[in-house]
Amino acid sequence: MEQQKYPQDEEQNEYRYISPSWIDAIARGLTAGAKKHPGETWKTIPSDEHLSRAMRHINLYRMGDRDEPHIINASMRLMMAFCTVRNEEVMDALGLSYEDDDDMDGKSNKYAYIYHPDDAGYWTGFESIEEALEAARERNPGAETVYITETKEFVPSVRPENVIENLQEDIDDECAGCYEGYLDDASHEDKDTLGDMLTETFVRWAKKRGIKYWVDIPSGKDRLYDLRTGKPVEEESK
């Protein structure tokens, strides 16, 4: 008997392939996390950090650790990485674009320039390609070409393992051997929570003090421009 067709069979986002219980478990985990960290502080954490923590949960589960819901924790971290990722290569591979999605784009793209790929570093912080070109002309009037690239804003996260290790060393300096195992009972989830809270505090501290807490990281997709015309070199050759 031929299977009956429904209109949704032609859709590109078939939700029937997603496990409802998996979504419910993720929702419960996110809800519990929101109570601990109001304000969705995970959005301030770099996607690479979310991915690293997801991999840790996956690896712990594969090693047989069942003390925590590692699969759900990894799923939540992957969702967070998806929402915060700014790497264009990853998005291109997924066939997605953030051009029209303001919710996932915390800040507008900026640009950087470098005269030659072998130079020591980029000049960053320009709001547009035209602004970067003008700055390159002023810095080196004799230059004929310059490489322009987009940048992404990277906010470093506080690594809880380093903080705990420093605290343990302080205890040992004060009283060597007196408190063996200090903070050793902190679980992976405890450490993740500590890292999120410290990173949130770091960002709030920097904002309150007027300190720049992020750095502009070049995407690595350099495009060569003619400084005389302000146009990409490949377009001029056509």
Task: Indicate the SS3 state at residue 25.
Answer: helix
* pTM for the model: 0.45
Q: How confident is the model at residue 94 (pLDDT cuts 50, 70, 90)?
A: very low
Same-domain status, 46 and 127: no
Same domain, 135 and 223: yes
- What is the C-alpha to C-alpha distance for residues 105 and 153, in angstroms, rounded to an integer? 11
Residue with tokens 């009283």: 175
171: in domain: no
Residues 30-61 have pLDDT tens digits of: 888 777 666 676 776 777 788 888 999 999 99
φ, ψ at 119 (rounded to 5°) = -65, 165
Mean pLDDT for the stretch of residues 217-230: 89
Q: Do residue 97 and residue 116 come from a single domain?
A: no
Q: Choose among 135, 122, 113, 19: nearest CA to 71.
A: 19
Range of the domain at 29: 19-101
Q: Do 34 and 140 fall within a single domain?
A: no
Q: How much is the pLDDT for 88?
A: 42
Which two tokens mark 196? 């999120």
Can you read off the two tokens belonging to residue 92?
């291109």
| Joined tokens for residue 206 | 């920097």
Looking at the structure, tell me whether residues 118 and 96 fall in a common domain: no
pLDDT value at 177 more than 50: yes
Same domain for 76 and 144? no
Contact predicate 191/184, CB 8 Å: no
Residue 188 lies inside a defined structural domain of this protein: no
| Average pLDDT of span 121-136 | 91
